[in-house]
Amino acid sequence: MPTLHLGFLASHGGSNMQAIIDACKQGRLDAKPCVVISNNSDSTAIARARQEYIPRYHISAATHPGETEDRAILRTLQAHDVDTVILAGYMKRIGPETLQTYRGRILNIHPALLPKFGGRGLYGKQVHEAVLRAGEKVTGVTVHVVDEQYDTGPILNQTQVPVMVGDTVDSLAERVLAQEHLLYVETLRKISEGTIVLPIFD
């Protein structure tokens, strides 16, 4: 039995999700990708899940009348025996019921060295724009546990990425994304091995 049972929430490309799926398939990570949920039915993340024969669901505020989006997401994660929730470019806030049930076991990846360059409005290219505008010489990647706020939960793992002279938002984003793929897999591997321990919340 794999150590971790992963449920992914992804809104767009899902390249981080794919890196994790590939690590599972290649035996580099002792985990099972159980389900993919997206708020965007046309997302590449959903297409990737289809390609990988992983159960996938489109869940948004409009898709489940009579049930909140939060409740539908929680029910779907539980129905697929998920024990660890992986946010992989998920652009929505996690609802209170899902957060409470999976407290301490919802992870996110952020393309900068939190607590710098995080918070509301700092996502995607905005993060790299802010890093370049601030004249930073080093940026990076953070994997953290999700709490009620944006990008504030306990940090589990970080890696640094140099900012090069002449970098554009796109060149920096590409260099950071390559490291995201490595760091998310490494962090999950350490969680599965017990060398990173997820925090217990009261």
Q: Among 15, 40, 78, 171, indicate the residue that binds ligand GRF (CB under 6 A).
A: 15
Shortest Cβ 15–ligand GRF spacing (Å): 3
Judged by CB under 6 A, the chain residues 135 through 194 that form the site for ligand GRF are 177, 180
- Amino acid identity at 49: A
- Select from 13-21, 46-54, 145-153, 164-172 the region that touches ligand GRF (CB under 6 A): 13-21
| DSSP SS3 for 107 | strand
| DSSP SS3 for 59 | coil
CB of 13 or CB of 95, closer to ligand GRF: 13
Strands in 138-145's sheet, in edge-to-edge order, are 56-58, 31-38, 4-9, 84-87, 106-110, 138-145, 155-162
The token pair at 134 is 């601030």
Judged by CB under 6 A, the chain residues 91 through 110 that form the site for ligand GRF are 109-110
CB of 87 or CB of 99, closer to ligand GRF: 87
The token pair at 64 is 């489940």
CB of 43 or CB of 98, closer to ligand GRF: 43
CA quadruple 144, 181, 100, 30: dihedral positive or negative?
Answer: negative
What are the residues binding ligand GRF (CB under 6 A)?
10, 12-17, 88-89, 109-111, 177, 180
